[in-house]
């Protein structure tokens, strides 16, 4: 007998939910039934990629006006819906375009001319027989737009498109915009034409006054854009960065899903400062009395809660907002950032934890390299002619270095691993280069981290910048939860931990094996000046719950935390981490 869910699923397949699309682009035939392939054209990015060999009528595009260029009879309007870095072009008769202004939200309807269709019509108009030989049905002509029998090769809508405003190809050639001739790698000349929408209907959905609209169609510095973070996503570079951010989340989610890690939601409001660095924000309600009875904090790391979850679910991960009240006003610090954290049960060897970090980052880089946001960032950097776009790209890290970073992330070899003690030995002879002297027992400064990453991480054979792991730091400068190393160096006691360092940026991730034995953990806490609760009190604010985890079935385990925003800034070459988050919060700034 079939399982009831299977029966339901079968019924659902037979009577699909009549769902209405919610996308910015509609092409005929997307209403279900016939013309399934057109359902895939949902955004401006899809439309620009689409290469029907014929013009397609009744195409509807919703988007925002980026710029308007004028000729005597038409307006060339650049439209974006946020799905691609560069806009698409709409050609609108002057009489229809009175309210088309930069910043306005519009719905445009008209005839879509893909570059393929424009090329083909050029060839046709030169008397070539190719068009007559081309099949017209199927993917070339949307459902309901079949060619009329007395005019093979042209649908009635296409025929009527002839009465629309003059084809931009004839206008824009004079305007220098829409058609050009390029030379292919084989030395053949080939016409290339810019796809465009010949607009017959304009609806203004949200007007805009270009005189007050703060986003201009020219270069604006990252600093000036940060002051208008609510409008900044409308700029081409920022919107592409935000798409890449979204891609990264999807790829990481898929990665952990494939690795059979459980995604979890640890709390944001917590009762303790996990890192013990005194950088936790306190949570207050408006009421005079403590809302939660005791002071509570915004989480500085989900690690402790992930440890609890890992002891029930096995391997777990999260990508959660994290908060630190660090008064560091640098290009690498945010007060609110996203940290990717993972915790693995039944792991005894820290190499396994580092291997996971490398595998995850390699998979992320390779996944992103197949997605449009990352591809556009690279491609448009190389082929950019627009002065505003070029200047925006010039703010980023040099493209050669960026490519070295990506090569390093995807390198097939294990990234270098050195101990803290070895790292100090590398730094000592060049101590004069640094503001802070490298000494065993003190933390590595960011200048040390950057030096190490460049020195050890550069692989000349592949011209790649490999991230490096620095392991086994002195116990006294690391957190209380870390496991003591089995064979420490003569200089002093160390813990099994690692920092992942990358050139230019320094620390990208940090992880450790956790102290899983109760008595040793209590010793560590005392050593770090933390109160050790003697017995578990209900509703107390202390670390009793964390010690409980060691009381019942605590296996050796470990994990790491990675600064997601820093990672994105590393991947994109955006020098300031404030420019890869939608709404940056940092020392003295939380604007909207």
Site of interaction with ligand ASN (CB under 6 A): 274-275, 301, 303, 341, 510-511, 559-561
Which residue matches tokens 């299977």? 6
Least Å from the CB of residue 274 to ligand ASN:
6
Q: Residue 135 corresponds to which tokens in the numbers above?
A: 């099949």
* Residue facing ligand ASN at closest CB distance: 561
Smallest CA-to-CA distance from 580 within 281, 374, 277 is with 374
Least Å from the CB of residue 275 to ligand ASN:
5
Least Å from the CB of residue 479 to ligand ASN:
7
In whole angstroms, give the CA distance from residue 94 to residue 96.
5
Residue 557, CA atoms < 13 Å, CB-side half-sphere = 26
- From the number of C-beta atoms within 10 Å of its C-beta (0-12, 13-18, 19+), residue 259 rates as middle
> Are the C-beta atoms of 488 and 334 separated by less than 8 Å?
no
DSSP calls for 144-195: T-PBPTTSTT-BHHHHHGGGSSPPHHHHHHHHT-SEEEEE-TTS-EEEEE--
Smallest CA-to-CA distance from 499 within 510, 488, 485, 515 is with 510
If the CB atoms of residues 324 and 586 are measured against ligand ASN, the closer one turns out to be 324
If the CB atoms of residues 110 and 510 are measured against ligand ASN, the closer one turns out to be 510
Least Å from the CB of residue 303 to ligand ASN:
4
If the CB atoms of residues 168 and 311 are measured against ligand ASN, the closer one turns out to be 311
Least Å from the CB of residue 324 to ligand ASN:
9
> Are the C-beta atoms of 557 and 313 separated by less than 8 Å?
no
If the CB atoms of residues 196 and 341 are measured against ligand ASN, the closer one turns out to be 341
If the CB atoms of residues 140 and 494 are measured against ligand ASN, the closer one turns out to be 494
Least Å from the CB of residue 441 to ligand ASN:
20
Query: Would you say the C-alpha torsion 230, 236, 241, 243 has a positive or negative sign?
Result: positive
Least Å from the CB of residue 353 to ligand ASN:
9
Query: In DSSP terms, which residues pair with 105 in a beta bridge?
Result: 64, 206
If the CB atoms of residues 86 and 478 are measured against ligand ASN, the closer one turns out to be 478
If the CB atoms of residues 561 and 584 are measured against ligand ASN, the closer one turns out to be 561
If the CB atoms of residues 61 and 577 are measured against ligand ASN, the closer one turns out to be 577
In whole angstroms, give the CA distance from residue 375 to residue 243.
11
If the CB atoms of residues 198 and 272 are measured against ligand ASN, the closer one turns out to be 272
Q: What's 299's DSSP letter?
A: -
The four Cα atoms 224, 225, 226, 228 give a dihedral, to 10 degrees, of 110
Least Å from the CB of residue 473 to ligand ASN:
12
Cβ of 272: how many Cβ atoms within 10 Å? 18
In whole angstroms, give the CA distance from residue 366 to residue 375.
11
Least Å from the CB of residue 440 to ligand ASN:
21
If the CB atoms of residues 222 and 561 are measured against ligand ASN, the closer one turns out to be 561
> Are the C-beta atoms of 558 and 347 separated by less than 8 Å?
yes
Least Å from the CB of residue 511 to ligand ASN:
5
> Are the C-beta atoms of 269 and 283 separated by less than 8 Å?
yes
If the CB atoms of residues 38 and 323 are measured against ligand ASN, the closer one turns out to be 323
In whole angstroms, give the CA distance from residue 57 to residue 80.
20
- From the number of C-beta atoms within 10 Å of its C-beta (0-12, 13-18, 19+), residue 122 rates as middle
In whole angstroms, give the CA distance from residue 276 to residue 79.
50
Least Å from the CB of residue 316 to ligand ASN:
11
Least Å from the CB of residue 548 to ligand ASN:
19
Least Å from the CB of residue 354 to ligand ASN:
12
> Are the C-beta atoms of 300 and 336 separated by less than 8 Å?
no
Long-range contacts at 418-422 (CB < 8 A, ≥ 24 apart): 418/452, 418/456, 418/468, 418/469, 418/470, 418/471, 419/470, 419/471, 419/472, 419/489, 419/494, 420/444, 420/470, 420/471, 420/472, 420/473, 420/474, 420/494, 421/472, 421/489, 421/491, 421/494
If the CB atoms of residues 79 and 300 are measured against ligand ASN, the closer one turns out to be 300
If the CB atoms of residues 87 and 511 are measured against ligand ASN, the closer one turns out to be 511
């Amino acid at each position: 007998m079939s399982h009831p869910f299977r029966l339901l699923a079968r019924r659902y397949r037979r009577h699909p939910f009549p769902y209405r699309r919610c996308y910015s682009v509609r092409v005929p035939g997307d209403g279900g039934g016939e013309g399934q392939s057109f359902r895939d054209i949902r955004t401006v990015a899809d439309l620009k990629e689409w290469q029907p060999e014929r013009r397609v009528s009744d195409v509807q595009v919703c988007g925002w006006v980026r710029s308007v260029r004028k000729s005597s009879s038409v307006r060339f309007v650049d439209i974006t819906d946020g799905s691609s870095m560069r806009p698409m072009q709409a050609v609108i008769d002057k009489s229809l375009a009175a309210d088309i202004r930069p910043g306005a939200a519009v719905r445009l309807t008209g005839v879509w001319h893909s570059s393929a269709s424009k090329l083909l019509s050029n060839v046709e108009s030169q008397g070539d027989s190719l068009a007559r030989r081309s099949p017209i049905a199927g993917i070339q002509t949307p459902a309901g737009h079949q060619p009329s029998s007395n005019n093979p090769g042209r649908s009635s809508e296409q025929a009527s498109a002839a009465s629309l405003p003059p084809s931009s190809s004839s206008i824009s050639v004079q305007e220098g915009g829409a058609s050009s001739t390029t030379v292919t790698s084989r030395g053949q000349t080939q016409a290339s034409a810019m796809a465009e929408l010949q607009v017959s209907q304009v609806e203004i959905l949200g007007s805009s006054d270009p005189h007050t609209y703060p986003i201009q169609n020219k270069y604006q510095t990252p600093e000036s854009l940060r002051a208008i973070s609510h409008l900044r996503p409308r700029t081409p570079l920022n919107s592409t960065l935000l798409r890449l951010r979204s891609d990264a989340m999807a790829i990481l989610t898929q990665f952990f899903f494939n690795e059979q890690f459980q995604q979890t939601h640890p709390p944001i409001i917590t009762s303790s400062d996990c890192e013990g660095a005194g950088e936790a924000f306190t949570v207050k309600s408006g009421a005079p009395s403590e809302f939660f009875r005791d002071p509570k904090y915004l989480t500085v790391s989900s690690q402790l809660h992930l440890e609890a979850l890992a002891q029930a679910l096995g391997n777990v991960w999260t990508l959660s907002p994290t908060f630190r009240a660090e008064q560091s006003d640098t290009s690498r610090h945010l007060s609110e950032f996203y940290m990717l954290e993972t915790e693995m049960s039944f792991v005894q060897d820290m190499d396994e934890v580092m291997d996971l970090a490398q595998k995850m980052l390699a998979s992320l880089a390779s996944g992103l390299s197949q997605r449009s946001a990352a591809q556009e960032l690279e491609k448009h950097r190389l082929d950019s002619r627009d002065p505003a776009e070029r200047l925006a790209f010039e703010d980023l890290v040099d493209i050669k270095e960026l490519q070295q970073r990506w090569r390093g992330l995807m390198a097939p070899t294990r990234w270098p691993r050195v101990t803290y003690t070895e790292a100090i030995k590398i730094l000592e002879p060049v101590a004069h280069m640094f503001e802070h002297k490298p000494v065993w027992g003190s933390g590595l400064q960011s200048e040390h981290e950057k030096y190490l990453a460049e020195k050890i991480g550069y692989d000349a054979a592949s011209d790649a910048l490999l991230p490096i792991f620095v392991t086994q730091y002195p116990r006294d400068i690391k957190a209380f939860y870390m496991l003591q190393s089995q064979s420490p160096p003569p200089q002093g006691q160390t813990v099994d931990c690692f920092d992942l360092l990358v050139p230019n940026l320094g620390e990208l991730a940090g992880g450790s094996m956790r102290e899983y034995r109760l008595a040793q953990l209590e010793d560590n806490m005392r050593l770090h000046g933390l109160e050790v609760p003697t017995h578990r009190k209900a509703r107390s604010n202390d670390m009793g719950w964390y010690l409980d985890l060691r009381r019942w079935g605590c296996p050796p385990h470990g994990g790491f935390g990675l600064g997601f925003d820093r990672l994105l800034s590393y991947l994109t070459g955006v020098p300031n981490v404030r420019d890869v988050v939608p709404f940056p919060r940092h020392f003295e700034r939380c604007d909207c």
